[in-house]
Structure 1
């Protein structure tokens, strides 16, 4: 299969989509490199699915252009774009057997009958569904149905694969297994460019080479998972990618101050009012650098960790701690700390506009 997949990428050139004057995707400039997995991550209504549908050809931009492999496809109908697509509802035909579902796109493309059987078998083998070709969708689990949907998309040998919340209908165990399978498929099909829409940060961090963070119809940040996690570009990215404590601080001649406390930060310091970002799992309990004290307002046991919600001068600080033998109780006064190397200063209200 590898040798037959065209070497392609995706480019959004100032793409805007509007419905009845309401802008749902605003001037998106973004490039997905050939062979790259790009996750579009954001809350509901952020514009991520609209961006994917613009690539597929299901919505037409009010302005801007969409390119595939350097070719302007803005005015092409979906069936001429050579794209594979998988949606969260699977969209399998219930009256067709698995092998017939997988063959559907090939027949629509008028692939010679003698070639279809081999390409269906190849796609089912890649997705671990070779033994299920004669079954109907109703005879499969949710995870198996999703594998069939992916096999159907791969059977046409697309240069671009679009995945729209493909795991959202699965339970946690199946989702974990499918994440591993998608990662394996990416390794086996390195030429395929994948645009992956999700609101689940774990999926994005696990699969993506880069993540584009969307909010309120606009791109807010784009980078590798490590870049966005370790050095977020703005408050929204910090809170949405991995979760974060965002503490208001002031910056002046006396350094960085949170209330009356002076804090040490090893990274660059903005010259104006700022927000301090520190990840919950990097906050420790007890004495240490950058000590802050407060009152426990809630404690949650999460198996491997305890999550503490601590009120510090009217601000909530979250600490994810490895399972404690004697965790503090609600109302206890505790001291927290974090390393200067684990604190990132963001300019207050900074946006990727």
Structure 2
């Protein structure tokens, strides 16, 4: 995108962006599908809403878009209360999973559609369409119909249509889920580039894919059962989760029940040296260790067990080892000889690579800066 195009787009938007949910609840009859959501997306930030189906993440996005009406609470875009405004007056762009392109219209006409709906002066429309198509790398396809494009190209057109209205806020609802793995990886890179080119646009990105959230987001809001459970940077949620739900949903984790003692914790009859952060001796806790941080062979915090299953995953072997009645996962690189099932092996992990999740930590929403309660595809390395 040229400096002139970027400057025109940035100069045409308002000076305020960002999104704020103020105790927003949405219900369908007696069923609450979003429960008292408090969350702030800062101006220029990419916030991923990550969670399983039915967690409330898409409902939150639709509340910002104006497609659902909260039963309580308010929605703000910048300093404007938009709760009662129709979608076309909210200054948003939106991209959905299935692109929603008009098959009978050429690419340029699809991109122009939102501009016409907003009654942009006719003389401005061709230039705005050209800007958006250049931004998304689709300028050479302006005269084609959607059926003449690949899935990735169609998604770029959908993004161009959203950006053509020069939104302060961009809403992305599972935008890559219909693409194959290679196209998805390429589109993630394109979205990251667009964010760098338009750093003032706030992006709310709904996904159930952990890799997308970890790759693209400045912060991740973890949703489950209509509530916000955790919020923080991808690094914080992955490396130092505070709840079992976050540990299991953001990446992949070994979650082992242990008993706190004076020197660390005990797993069965094995003593392990880990930071207990003041947890009471004798109390129960859960030890979280990522599989790629578990090594094969002697080392600190050694665990002896028997091979229950081996999976080859290209660059790694995933070992499942029965240890003290629990199955421990280890992702081991460059395993030249696969150990037979039932073979006795030793696993180990460094004390600093484990996180102790205590029963006293409750799930709850994070603060807007990710400093409160911190805190698909499987993440196997960090």
**Does the pair score TM above 0.5?**
yes
Structure 1 residues 133 and 10: CA distance shift in structure 2, 3 A: same
Q: Distance in 2 between matches of 1:289 and 1:34?
A: 45
- Residues 165 and 196, structure 1, Cα contact 8 Å, conserved in 2: yes
Match of 1:123 in 2: 132
Structure 1 residues 267 and 227: CA distance shift in structure 2, 3 A: farther
Structure 2, unaligned runs of 5 or more = 1-8, 365-382
Shift, 1:352, TM fit: 2.2
Shift, 1:74, TM fit: 0.7
Match of 2:97 in 1: 88
How many residues align? The count is: 353
Alignment match of 2:11 (pick from 3, 20, 23): 3
Shift, 1:293, TM fit: 1.2
- Residues 235 and 349, structure 1, Cα contact 8 Å, conserved in 2: no
Match of 1:45 in 2: 54
Q: Distance in 2 between matches of 1:127 and 1:200?
A: 23
Match status 1:208 vs 2:225: no
Match status 1:299 vs 2:299: no
Structure 1, unaligned runs of 5 or more = none
Classify the secondary structure of the residue corresponding to 1:265.
coil
Q: Distance in 2 between matches of 1:239 and 1:5?
A: 40
- Residues 123 and 154, structure 1, Cα contact 8 Å, conserved in 2: yes
Match of 2:293 in 1: 282
Superposed, which structure 2 residues align to 1:1-353 within 5 Å?
Answer: 1-6=9-14, 7-253=16-262, 255-266=264-275, 268-271=277-280, 272-348=283-359, 350-353=361-364
Greater mean alpha carbon deviation, residues 141-150 or residues 6-15: 6-15
For residues 188-227 of structure 1, give each alpha carbon's deviation from its aligned partner in whole angstroms, at most 9, with x where no partner exists: 0000000000000100000000000011111110000111
Shift, 1:266, TM fit: 3.5
- Residues 163 and 195, structure 1, Cα contact 8 Å, conserved in 2: yes
Q: Distance in 2 between matches of 1:74 and 1:273?
A: 45
Q: Distance in 1 between matches of 2:38 and 2:331?
A: 36
Q: Distance in 1 between matches of 2:321 and 2:134?
A: 51
TM normalised by structure 2 equals 0.91
Shift, 1:156, TM fit: 0.1
Q: Distance in 2 between matches of 1:60 and 1:117?
A: 34
Shift, 1:14, TM fit: 0.7
Shift, 1:334, TM fit: 1.1
Classify the secondary structure of the residue corresponding to 1:318.
strand
- Residues 264 and 275, structure 2, Cα contact 8 Å, conserved in 1: no
Shift, 1:5, TM fit: 2.2
- Residues 267 and 341, structure 1, Cα contact 8 Å, conserved in 2: no
Shift, 1:260, TM fit: 0.9
Classify the secondary structure of the residue corresponding to 1:177.
helix
Q: Distance in 2 between matches of 1:186 and 1:286?
A: 44
Q: Distance in 2 between matches of 1:139 and 1:255?
A: 62
Classify the secondary structure of the residue corresponding to 2:310.
strand
RMSD: 1.1
Shift, 1:143, TM fit: 0.3
